[in-house]
A = this chain, B = another copy of it.
Amino acid sequence: YVVLCAGLDVCFVGVPLDAGTSNRSGTRFGPRQIRSESCIIRHVNNATGAQPFDSIQVADVGDVWMNIYNLPEACKNIKDGFTKLMSTGCKTLAVGGDHTITWPILQAVKEKYGPVGLVHIDAHADTNEGLLGAPVNHGAPFRHAAVEGCLDCKRVVQIGLRGTGYAIEDYEWGKKQGFRIVQAHECWHKSLAPLMEEVREMMGDGPVYISFDIDGIDPAFAPGTGTPEIAGLTPIQALEIIRGCRGLNIVGGDLVEVSPPYDTTGNTALLAANLLFEMLCVFPGVKYADV
């Protein structure tokens, strides 16, 4: 790993895990499919002028090793893998895999950068205590991360939450930690550029991690995912969020929950590839041309 990342500013790394999934599985092939569809991502960002590949050193370093047959152990493997990747100073853009992976990644991030602010786009808060009696799964990463001090809870924003819930208190736990929650219906029919002004203010200069669950986006645009919820964000709003992170002190990010078996046209993976490119564009050090 260390060799792989030598001299890199940012690396893409696949985490092909779906053992933490609650409904439809298949995210284990997310990294493979997103790589395939990334073949039409070109060099520059015509809308913003960002030129990431002319500014910083970037590479895809392959997949992290893990024991996919034992979820708690896989989490340890992921944490170890990311710790090594980050040890050279390289920042990571993880390609999931289900959302379970963000917990061990944030453990590694904390060791390197301390507690981080979080821009979290998702249909679900993912702050359950557990599911079916198991503490570790894709519905719980931010609970564990917050409890373990990986998050600077006053600098956490969750955008796009919606859908039916297990209990009317589903979002309360996060609010008590200080999370700002922006439900999907607060985003309907409007640009999220104003929201991102507030988010930038909230984040300040501290380190920030972006966790993008593709199910934050409406299933019309992102059908290939395991727990889709109706009436979600649009790709337009997703771009407003990510582009709105420009200038923040981004220390890492992930794009999770793309499930290729349910992505019948490949377009969810294509969307994910574009979002990952846009996330790359807002990493520190990326230069922008005037447009």
Contacts and interface: CB of A to CB of B under 8 A. Distances in A.
Contacts of A28: 25
Q: In the complex this chain forms, how many copies of it are found?
A: 6
Interface in A221-235: 221, 223-224, 227-231, 234-235
| A-side interface mostly | loop
A1 interface: no
A46 B231 contact: no
A99 interface: no
A184 B190 CA distance: 16
A39 B23 contact: yes
A273 B239 CA distance: 29
B43 A164 contact: yes
Interface stretch (A82-90, A132-140, A201-209, A245-253): A132-140
B239 A46 contact: no
Interface size class of A (residues with CB under 8 A): 35 or more
Interface string A71-93: 11100000000000000000000
A234 to B, nearest CB: 8
B42 A164 contact: yes
Nearest to A51: B168
Contact of A264 (B39, B227, B265): B265
Interface string A165-178: 11110110000000
User: Max chain B CB contacts within 10 Å: which of A49, A132, A183, A184?
Assistant: A132
Contacts of A39: 23
Given A44-B170, A219-B270, 19 more contacts: A19-B19, A20-B69, A24-B26, A41-B164, A43-B165, A44-B164, A44-B168, A46-B165, A51-B168, A69-B132, A69-B136, A185-B239, A188-B236, A228-B267, A231-B235, A231-B238, A261-B261, A262-B265, A264-B265
